[in-house]
Amino acid sequence: MIPYVEGTGKPRAHDHFKQTTLRELLKRGKEQELIFKPLVQVVDLFCGGGGFTEGAVRAGADVVLSIDCWEPAIQIHKANHPDIPCENYTLGGSIVETAAFIRSRLTPGAHFHLHGSPPCQKLSNASNGDAEEGMILVNWFIDLVRYMKPDSWSMENVVPVAKKIDKHRPGTPHVKLNSADFGVPQTRNRIFAGEGWVAEPTHTKDEWVSVIEALPHLEGELNMSVNKNIKQRTVDEPMRTITSKTPSQTRIVSRRRKKGEEPQSYSPERPAHTITQVQHIMENIVVNTDGCSNSVSRRALSVDRSVSEPAKTVHNNRPTLRNVHLNTSGCSESMGDAAVAKDRVITKPSKVIRAHHSTLREIHMDSGRSSAKTCGVNPKTGKKQGGSGFLSRPITEPSYTCMSSPRSLCEPTKPKATKIRSLTLAETAVLQGFSADMKIPYKRKKDAWTVLGNAVCPPVAEAIIRGLK
């Protein structure tokens, strides 16, 4: 039933909000005010860093209690939701006592939604742990649901848990949801058990959000080669000191010293002797009059002239600058000659330019799959269940599932891919569906990666709460 707002002739779209009638408000002397009190109250068990809490808040619910027993996760949860109680409490004990603790936080008459995300490490196919031990807390949570009988409930876990639930707690409804269907830039499949809700997808496969759409800065940042040994700075920060030891950046170089000569030094007031070019940075281009293929960064011969000077007589079949090619193969440079057969001279039509792809190189997300013999083998059964060898997908597609370790960006060169860099915590948070300004405090960075990798994607949680029956 949709509540009717007296005096407006219009219904309210959400049926989980309590309203005060206009007549009652007039009695209080508030002629223009309508008060709506949210009556959907959520309790988030095994809350981790607050993925489900974040989604519930986005959906307009009132999260009255979150519980976890791992301090690094609790600190991240509190940093982003300081007004929501997040208790350090060990779950898995007395169901009666836990139920009483939860009920003490609920408002009578509220729609009560109970969510839980029991630890999944021992239930994953990649784990050596005992899956039966992993099911202890899953079974405990389902038993808690049956004891408390909430208005609606949900539980998130890895895909292999589905068969275990059917075995241990038959009759428990569950569905597999792909986070990409809810606008998350990641193809993350998870089992969601529960009742009292229907999660309606917000994106079709053609509308899936890609990595480059979620992280648009990658396109400009990765057009040029990045030296992994140098701490990178954004374009908004001051440029670091230019020296002759910073590969892939402009460098200041003087003439070669003679034997016994002291090194030359330049004060900030004096101009540098010569600025030379390193890959893709400013070039001192000169007019080549001698037929040489390259005259990059210096004059090839004394007869060369700078482009700021008048040219000498132009001879037939003599290139005035150099033979420039459009690199379509991902090579770092193609100076003078075609780097590979795929390169084309710029006097000819370019190949198809793909959306979001740099013309310099192609950027992929590394799946993390190795060529080891044990790769793809289920450690519990010893059977081959997955592939092995390098696997990647372009950043114009959604990411692979984010794990408790950073994903890498790479160039899919053969025979071995070239790693560019790892994604940052902030970038991974965005790929999980969190906001770009999410706070991620930590004492150990590894703990922060674990919290992010195990989090429920907020857009999926939001769809569940919005889909309450």
Q: Is the peptide bond before 150 cis (omega within 30 degrees of 0)?
A: no
Mean pLDDT of the chain: 74
What letter would DSSP give residue 377?
B
Question: Band of the pLDDT at 161, cuts 50, 70, 90?
Answer: very high
Measured CA angle at 367 (ends 460, 406), to 5 deg: 70
Find where tokens 């040994």 sit. Answer: 229
Question: Band of the pLDDT at 254, cuts 50, 70, 90?
Answer: very low
Rounded to whole angstroms, how far apart are CA atoms 199 and 58?
15
Token code pair at residue 311: 């040219």
239 to each of 194, 231, 235, 276, how far by Cα in Å?
53, 12, 8, 17
Percentage of residues of the chain with pLDDT beyond 90: 45
Q: Would you say 418 and 410 are in contact if contact means Cβ atoms under 8 Å apart?
A: yes
Q: What residue type is assigned to position 167 of the chain? A: K
Most confident of 11-15, 32-36, 368-372, 430-434: 430-434
Rounded to whole angstroms, how far apart are CA atoms 143 and 72?
28
Of 462, 441, 438, 423, the C-alpha closest to 215 is: 423
Domain ranges of the chain: 17-212+438-466
What is the average pLDDT across 231-244? 56
Rounded to whole angstroms, how far apart are CA atoms 228 and 27?
69
* 359 Cβ contact list (under 8 Å, min separation 6): 326, 327, 328, 350, 353
Q: Which CATH architecture has domain 17-212+438-466?
A: 3-Layer(aba) Sandwich (3.40)
pLDDT digits (tens, 9 = 90+) for 11-27: 333 333 344 444 554 44
415 to each of 25, 70, 313, 390, 412, how far by Cα in Å?
73, 42, 47, 10, 9
Question: Band of the pLDDT at 335, cuts 50, 70, 90?
Answer: very low
Rounded to whole angstroms, how far apart are CA atoms 168 and 174?
14
Rounded to whole angstroms, how far apart are CA atoms 122 and 143?
20
Rounded to whole angstroms, how far apart are CA atoms 24 and 3?
16
Rounded to whole angstroms, how far apart are CA atoms 282 and 280?
7
pLDDT digits (tens, 9 = 90+) for 277-325: 433 333 344 444 444 444 444 434 445 566 567 766 655 554 444 444 4
Rounded to whole angstroms, how far apart are CA atoms 239 and 254?
21
* 76 Cβ contact list (under 8 Å, min separation 6): 49, 50, 439, 440, 441, 442, 448, 451
What is the average pLDDT across 440-465? 96
Find where tokens 């986070």 sit. Answer: 179
What is the average pLDDT across 169-188? 96
Token code pair at residue 430: 């965005």
Measured CA angle at 47 (ends 453, 82), to 5 deg: 105
